[in-house]
């Protein structure tokens, strides 16, 4: 994993570079293909392994909307603004 300026990338064995959209849960994160942003994956991170679970665009959108709602309710404005920008760029 590369961490540069709060952006996270993973190299998928088939689809190449993936860009992290957001954290879903402690060990689950949502990623998309870097350039097309048409393929989405839930990446499960464990100390020994990374698991890539493909999901649909509509399911990915729903996950991001739920995360935005949680951030808004928790009053975490900076995180909300960053994720909302990614949401607009990815799904609008």
Decide if 61 contacts 81 (C-beta within 8 A).
no
The whole-number pLDDT of residue 68 equals 97
Q: What CA–CA distance (Å, rounded) separates 62 from 53?
A: 16
Asked whether residue 1 carries a pLDDT value surpassing 70, the answer given is no
Residue 19 CB: number of other CB atoms within 10 A?
17
Q: Which residues contact 70 (CB under 8 A, 6 or more apart)?
A: none
Q: Supply 3's token pair.
A: 């961490």
The whole-number pLDDT of residue 34 equals 86
The whole-number pLDDT of residue 22 equals 94
Q: Which of the four pLDDT bands, split at 50, 70 and 90, describes residue 2?
A: very low
The whole-number pLDDT of residue 29 equals 96
How confident is the model over 41-57, as a mean pLDDT? 94
User: Domains of the chain (ranges plus CATH)?
Assistant: 2-91 (2.30.30.660)
What pLDDT digit, counting tens, does each position of 10-48 carry?
A: 999 898 999 999 999 888 999 999 887 789 999 998 999
């Amino acid at each position: 994993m590369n961490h540069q300026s709060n952006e996270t990338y993973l190299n998928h064995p088939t689809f190449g570079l993936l860009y992290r959209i957001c954290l879903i849960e402690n060990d689950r994160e949502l990623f998309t293909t870097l350039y097309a942003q048409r393929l989405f994956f839930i990446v499960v991170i464990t100390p020994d392994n990374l698991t890539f679970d493909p999901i649909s665009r509509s399911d990915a959108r729903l996950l991001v909307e739920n995360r935005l709602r949680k951030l808004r309710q928790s009053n975490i404005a900076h995180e909300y603004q960053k994720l909302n920008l990614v949401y607009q760029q990815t799904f609008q």
